[in-house]
Amino acid sequence: MMGREHWVETSLGNVGEIVTGNTPSKSNTAFYGKEYPWIKPDELDNEEFLFSSKEMLSSLGAKQARVLPKNSVLVSCIGNLGKIAISGKELATNQQINSIIFKDSIVDYKFGFHYIKTIKELLYQYASTTTLPIINKSKFSNIPFPLPPLNEQKRIVEKLDAILPKVKSAKARLDKIPSILKKFRQSVLSAACSGKLTEDWREGYPNLENGDTIYTRTKSFNKSTNIEYMENEFGWFTTKAENITSRITKGTTPKSGDIHANGPIPYLKVYNIVDQSINFHYKSQYVSKETHKGFLQRSIIYPGDVLMNIVGPPLGKVAITPDEFEEWNINQAIAYFRPIKELIISEYLYIVLCDGKPIQEISKEFRGSAGQQNISLEQSRNFLIPIPSLEEQYEIVRRVENLFALADSLESKYKKAMERVDKIEQSVLAKAFRGELVEPDPSDEPASELLKRIIEEKAKLMVGNKYRKKPLR
């Protein structure tokens, strides 16, 4: 009969030696070389077995460290608890990792490894209640450990090693989907802005406006009659953003006392642009009508205005102002483009800015301090925007929205599939440690005998320690 009735409960400290890592002196460069991997928490959870590390110790440095044998189980015990791996060779760790050297006559190290993967929440319960969760060696040693007969452990491991790699393979295939969808969306945007997306559509509309006609209409909306433009291979009119918008400017930051948690006028910051749309529910801020119409007058925006952050990294956050409010305002890290609707529709300008080509073309001219990327208003106004006829703009928007809806649908299916795969792994592991994955074998040495052996070995160790002289210092 399956179950844990024939298992015994003990603790990690009873089934293995617990070793907390350390850091050889950084001031002695001779301690660091290429001989021994020196593992840190960010290197756990990536591969099951570890054979190398970003930073290595020399043979001299290894003498200052606590070197672990092959098949030790490494567990992060400071900060992000429960990250895990197995030593594929002799190596050492820093002090943020506790390791277990399982007694191979009592515990199969892979059984121990799989068990520890299931107790992340338990680790947090045992951690010190500080801002940074920490499990010291003593608390780690006291964590409960379910002990089945050794041969049963091996059968459980054999079963898990047959199932979990298939789950991991499925996850690896699914992990490629977000990258594929990202490339797909970018290729749609690029095709939309080059004219290739609607190439077949244009064949059915031979009398569309060409570049010269659009140029003539553009001049009627501009004070300057000297408008530079180019035509692409499809006869599109390409000109500066300032020629097809009525206004391009940036926001302003009022005094801190003029920004409120509630109010009549919503005030946007870059963090409100999420996934290329406005998310005003995150850290909503407001300004008064007086501030809006006074100090912030130049940065009043309306539904349909196209927004883009001009301070990064990252650059390329774009959104269309929604109609949730009649008027909005923005801070100085955001520029807005107000399209001349007779020349360009908001949704099409949004697609061009999302494509990112205008930003790429000025990437070598970014301004700002070290680590910062700024786009000036002059650069924004000089963005080159390809302009097809209004009819084609509407068709482009329709096709992009349909293709993006398809990508969104696939992404939703991917997330659900990923959740199912994650649940499979959790379910299989849970079943294993409920004693329900393999049948018990009456011929196995009982777990109680393993526990007796543990107690006997511990008693011998205590006797030995009692008479052992303290080492000379």
Q: Are residues 179 and 108 in the same domain?
A: no
What stretches of 294-436 show up as alpha helix (H) in DSSP?
A: 346-355, 357-361, 377-381, 390-433
Tell me the residue length of the chain: 473
Strand 373-374 to strand 230-231: parallel, antiparallel, or no bridges (unpaired)? unpaired
In the numeric block, which tokens belong to residue 226? 């000297």
Nearest to 274 by CA among 264, 265, 261, 284: 284
Residue 379 CB neighbour total at 10 angstroms = 19
Residue 62 lies in a domain: yes
Between CA 138 and CA 346 the distance in angstroms is 63
Q: Are residues 299 and 153 in the same domain?
A: no
Residue 469 lies in a domain: no
Tell me the three state secondary structure of residue 267.
strand
Residue 318 lies in a domain: yes
Between CA 298 and CA 316 the distance in angstroms is 23
DSSP H or E stretch at residue 187: helix 177-194
Q: Are residues 315 and 352 in the same domain?
A: yes
Tell me the three state secondary structure of residue 467.
helix
For the stretch 30-35, contacts whose Cβ atoms lie closer than 8 Å and that sit 24 or more positions apart, written own/partner, are 30/58, 30/60, 30/61, 31/57, 31/58, 31/60, 31/61, 31/64, 32/56, 32/57, 32/58, 32/61, 33/57, 33/58, 33/59, 33/60, 33/61, 34/58, 35/59, 35/62
Q: Are residues 299 and 330 in the same domain?
A: yes
Q: Are 230 and 243 in contact (CB under 8 A)?
A: no
Residue 132 lies in a domain: yes
**In the block, which residue shows the tokens 């509309």?**
205
Q: Are 51 and 71 in contact (CB under 8 A)?
A: no
Between CA 93 and CA 72 the distance in angstroms is 11
Residue-level pLDDT at 473: 29
Q: Are residues 254 and 107 in the same domain?
A: no
Between CA 74 and CA 66 the distance in angstroms is 13
- For the four alpha carbons of 454, 456, 460 and 466, in that order, the dihedral sign comes to positive
Residue 458 lies in a domain: no
Residue-level pLDDT at 221: 86
From its phi and psi, is residue 378 left (phi > 0), alpha (psi between -120 and 50) or beta? alpha
Q: Are 90 and 69 in contact (CB under 8 A)?
A: yes
Residue 461 lies in a domain: no
Q: 330 has which bridge partners?
A: 268
**Domain containing 69 — which CATH number?**
3.90.220.20
Given 363, 387, 411, the domain boundary residue is 387
Between CA 230 and CA 237 the distance in angstroms is 6
Q: Are residues 252 and 164 in the same domain?
A: no
Residue 471 lies in a domain: no
Residue-level pLDDT at 454: 79
DSSP H or E stretch at residue 163: helix 150-175
Between CA 85 and CA 108 the distance in angstroms is 15
Q: Are residues 349 and 219 in the same domain?
A: yes
Nearest to 328 by CA among 296, 354, 350, 375: 296
Strand 49-50 to strand 32-39: parallel, antiparallel, or no bridges (unpaired)? unpaired
pLDDT per residue rounded down to tens, the chain (473 residues):
578 889 999 999 999 999 999 999 999 999 999 999 999 999 999 889 999 999 999 999 999 999 999 999 999 999 999 999 999 999 999 999 999 999 999 999 999 999 999 999 999 999 987 688 999 999 999 999 999 999 999 999 999 999 999 999 999 999 999 999 999 999 999 999 999 999 999 999 888 888 888 888 888 888 765 677 677 777 788 899 999 999 999 998 888 889 999 999 999 999 999 999 999 988 999 999 999 999 999 999 999 999 999 998 889 999 999 999 999 999 999 999 999 999 999 999 999 999 998 888 877 666 655 567 889 999 999 999 999 999 999 999 999 999 999 999 999 999 999 999 999 999 999 999 999 999 999 999 888 888 888 777 767 655 554 433 343 32
Total domains in the fold of the chain: 3
Q: Are residues 194 and 289 in the same domain?
A: no
Q: Are residues 114 and 181 in the same domain?
A: no
Nearest to 347 by CA among 192, 153, 133: 192
Is pTM, for the whole model, over 0.85?
Answer: no
Residue 3 lies in a domain: no
Q: Are residues 71 and 110 in the same domain?
A: yes
Q: Are residues 231 and 218 in the same domain?
A: yes
Residue-level pLDDT at 467: 36
Given 366, 387, 408, the domain boundary residue is 387
Q: Are residues 71 and 104 in the same domain?
A: yes
Domain boundaries, position 30: 8-146
Q: Are 146 and 111 in contact (CB under 8 A)?
A: no
Residue 433 CB neighbour total at 10 angstroms = 19
Residue 271 CB neighbour total at 10 angstroms = 12
